[in-house]
Amino acid sequence: MSVKALFLDRDGTLMVDVGYPRDPDQVELLPGVVDALTACRQAGYRLSIISNQSGVGRGYFDAATVEAVHRRLVDRLAAHGVLIDDAQYCLHAPEDHCACRKPSALMIERSARQLGADLTQSFMIGDKPSDVEAGRRAGCHTILLRPQPAAPRAAAGTDPEPAALNPSKRGPTSVVSDAAVSDALNSDAAIAHGVASDWAQMTRMILATDPPARCR
């Protein structure tokens, strides 16, 4: 029997997005997360966190800080009986032009190998267009969670996304804004399989009897 997985963005999807979290005490689960992940685990889904944490590459904090926040999140979920099976983090800044930062599919693909997951039976879930694009590139289903209000980012300003939405037109080091990625993903040629306003709606979509259409 094939393994299916939920690949989950972290900030703004599992926990409140405070903007570059530095303190484990900033971890606050979003409403509905526990019930949703419990239901999905009972339905046979493995759970994996897929997160860009460019605060390290930008020099705001170190990798130990990311680990401490991650550990607090995992512990909070475990206290409710929700176990995380894997986690993949990109610590690079956008200008590093790394291979792993979303919307690259690399972290999803690594986690899928670790879990033995069938990407065609799995979902990438996140609150940003780059999450959707990463899932599409990996070949899994995608659901966009409407963003929660976030605290202002640090002085560095906007958080550009390395896009390459169309590899034939963009080089591997292309960098575009979230707005540009969003425009591309909202076109007829590139959309999420579903958009959910909250975790309850998203759970119904995941557990629906008829699976969503395959990725194009």
The catalytic residue among 11, 17, 86, 127 is 11
188 catalytic, yes or no?
no
Across 91-171, the runs of DSSP E, i.e. the strands, are 123-126, 141-145
Across the chain, the runs of DSSP E, i.e. the strands, are 4-8, 45-52, 86-90, 123-126, 141-145, 194-196
Peptide bond just before 103 cis, omega within 30 deg: yes
Within 13 Å of residue 48, how many CA atoms lie on the same side as its CB? 27
Q: At what angle do helices 63-78 and 33-42 cross, to 10 degrees?
A: 70
The helix/strand count (H/E) of the chain reads as 6, 6
127 catalytic, yes or no?
no
Q: Residue 82 — φ and ψ, nearest 5°?
A: -105, 115
Q: Which positions are catalytic?
A: 9, 11
